[in-house]
Amino acid sequence: MATPSLLLLLADGRFPAGAHAHSGGLEAAVAAGRVTDLASLEAFLAGRLATAGLVGAAFAAAAHRAAVPGTVGAGESAGTATLATTLAQLDAELDARTAAPTLRTVSRRQGRALLRAGRAIWPDAPFGDLPTTPGGAHQPLVLGLLCAAAGLSRLDTATVAAYGTVTGAASAGVRLLGLDPYQVQALLVGLADACDGTAADAARTADDPPERLPAAAAPLADIHAEIHATWEVRLFAS
């Protein structure tokens, strides 16, 4: 069983996976005038949690489930699919749920960064079963395998994923808007129950077939991502 310290380690923004270089779409939202203060940042984070947070957490939990022996879902026989096959299905389904080409690229780039850390820390984990798609596997799939290797539970895995979707953007808000960091942390405390609820919902869906996993979308975030990618000068990669 994993220790609480491992859960904290993987949720820490200082984990060497490059998350600090991304604003979760906040930089473009700020430039568009849609996020201007603490209240609008809170609304942005809540929306992100309900969309990208839920989807990412569900796919991370599903990858964790596939990697942990003995977690066969209802209606599925042991040995029905290999880990590599399941991960390939999950990767394709997550790709289909990521409408913006830029966000697909970002997810795979973050997956590669996380994979480098995972291989260095847990070299015996089954990372070789990840899809060999151009650009690498999507970040939530890598996270699921990494959390399984660390001994975290499925719920812990979903929590790490959901937590990461809001904390990175919140930190970016301090830099982009000059907000009081103490107030931003208080905002995150206020979102804690929603984050836990999102993680619980995501973990429950992990027994579903890949095609039935959550598909919540944020079209405006997709548009902002494509616009942001054209900027010559920016603080964040996405």
Q: What percent of the chain has pLDDT over 90?
A: 83
Q: How confident is the model at residue 14 (pLDDT cuts 50, 70, 90)?
A: confident
Report pLDDT for 75.
38
Q: How confident is the model at residue 160 (pLDDT cuts 50, 70, 90)?
A: very high
Report pLDDT for 2.
56
pTM, full prediction: 0.92
Query: Does 165 have pLDDT greater than 90?
Result: yes
Query: Which residues contact residue 224 at a Cβ distance below 8 angstroms, ignoring those fewer than 6 apart?
Result: 25, 28, 29, 32
Each residue's pLDDT tens digit, 45-99? 999 999 999 999 999 999 999 999 765 443 344 444 699 999 999 999 999 999 9
Query: Does 20 have pLDDT greater than 90?
Result: no
Report pLDDT for 59.
98
Report pLDDT for 70.
67
- Contact predicate 49/55, CB 8 Å: no
CA distances to 93, 117, 183 from 123, rounded to whole Å, are 27, 10, 40
Give mean pLDDT, residues 26-48.
96
Query: Which residues contact residue 111 at a Cβ distance below 8 angstroms, ignoring those fewer than 6 apart?
Result: 136, 137, 138, 139, 140, 141, 142
- Secondary structure of residue 24 in the 3-state scheme: coil
Q: How confident is the model at residue 161 (pLDDT cuts 50, 70, 90)?
A: very high
Query: Does 5 have pLDDT greater than 90?
Result: no
Report pLDDT for 157.
97
Report pLDDT for 3.
62
Of 125, 150, 118, which is closest to residue 1 (Cα–Cα)? 150
Query: Does 129 have pLDDT greater than 70?
Result: yes
Please tell me which residue, 154 or 71, carries the higher pLDDT value.
154
